[in-house]
């Protein structure tokens, strides 16, 4: 059985990704910084839960140790945890980069020993086209008008980290995904987006492609995007 860890999966796109992967037969670990919210989501979708705060090295190490101790391995990691702020100051910048970019390094480094032991390791970063230099400099694209400096910059870093991991580990697939504008708590102030279930399908498509699938891309539901 394919074993999958999804960070920040207690709600939103992460929880819907968990629900769909469980339905496809994955053994899913819901990572949640709040254990009670994680347990509730896991019970709802038929997954397991593990406390995991992507900004906390000890929490990340303990979460991966819990998964290792379960003895069922780990095949797929979905870096889904993320924050969006319109604030623009030092603390907001540190929090944005810590969660959206550094968290990917923490979780990937802790997961690599298990991923290397998998027959079909696959890592998906839920990034954003708001972090695409091509999109934010293209007046035809909605991202051109988005005043989200810290979100865009930290997602650009998330995408670059994913690309660098893909180059460093040719035996493991690493792709960044733009799931599409989605109505979640993150975007509630903007009143935009489709259902989390619709966007989760884009994440699930990348998380379930075989070993010959794409690696080192930023992809949306139509295929790879320019950087």
Ligand X SMILES: NC(=O)c1ccc[n+]([C@@H]2O[C@H](COP(=O)([O-])OP(=O)(O)OC[C@H]3O[C@@H](n4cnc5c(N)ncnc54)[C@H](OP(=O)(O)O)[C@@H]3O)[C@@H](O)[C@H]2O)c1
Contacts to ligand X by CB under 6 A? 7-8, 10-14, 33-34, 37, 52-55, 80-83, 99, 126, 128, 178-179, 181-182, 184-187, 193, 196
**Shortest Cβ 11–ligand X spacing (Å):** 5
**Shortest Cβ 37–ligand X spacing (Å):** 6
- Of 23, 34, 27, 26, nearest in space to 9 by CA: 34
**Nearer Cβ to ligand X, position 11 or 120?**
11
**Nearer Cβ to ligand X, position 44 or 185?**
185
CA distance 174 to 124: 6
**Nearer Cβ to ligand X, position 10 or 122?**
10
CB neighbour class for 206 (10 Å; exposed up to 12, middle 13-18, buried from 19)? buried
**Nearer Cβ to ligand X, position 2 or 184?**
184
**Nearer Cβ to ligand X, position 115 or 126?**
126
**Shortest Cβ 119–ligand X spacing (Å):** 28
Cite the DSSP H helix spans in the chain: 12-23, 35-45, 57-70, 90-97, 103-116, 133-136, 149-168, 196-207
**Shortest Cβ 212–ligand X spacing (Å):** 26
CB neighbour class for 130 (10 Å; exposed up to 12, middle 13-18, buried from 19)? buried
**Shortest Cβ 88–ligand X spacing (Å):** 17
**Shortest Cβ 224–ligand X spacing (Å):** 16
**Nearer Cβ to ligand X, position 112 or 176?**
176
Burial string for 19-58 (b: 16+ CB within 10 Å, else e) reads bbbbeeebbbbbbbbeeebbbbbbeebebbbbbbbbbbee
Token pair of 151 as six digits: 């979100």
């Amino acid at each position: 059985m394919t074993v999958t860890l999804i960070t920040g999966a207690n709600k939103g796109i992460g929880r819907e990704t968990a629900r769909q992967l469980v339905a496809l037969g994955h053994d899913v670990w819901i990572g949640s910084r709040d254990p009670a919210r994680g347990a509730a989501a896991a019970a709802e979708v038929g997954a397991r839960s593990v406390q995991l705060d992507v900004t906390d090295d000890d929490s990340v190490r303990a979460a991966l140790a819990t998964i290792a101790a379960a003895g069922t391995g780990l095949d797929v990691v979905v870096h889904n945890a993320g924050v969006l702020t319109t604030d623009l100051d030092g603390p907001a910048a540190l929090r944005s980069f810590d969660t959206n970019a550094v968290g990917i390094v923490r979780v990937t480094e802790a997961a690599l020993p298990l991923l290397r032991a998998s027959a079909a390791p696959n890592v998906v970063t839920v990034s954003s086209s708001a972090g695409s230099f091509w999109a934010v400099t293209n007046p035809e694209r909605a991202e051109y008008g988005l005043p989200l400096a810290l979100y865009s910059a930290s997602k650009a870093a998330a995408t670059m980290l994913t690309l660098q991991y893909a180059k460093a580990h040719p035996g493991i697939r690493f792709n960044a995904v733009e799931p599409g504008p989605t109505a979640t708590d993150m975007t509630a102030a903007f009143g935009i987006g489709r259902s989390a279930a619709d966007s989760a399908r884009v994440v699930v498509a990348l998380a379930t492609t075989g070993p010959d699938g794409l690696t080192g891309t930023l992809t949306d539901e139509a295929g790879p995007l320019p950087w």
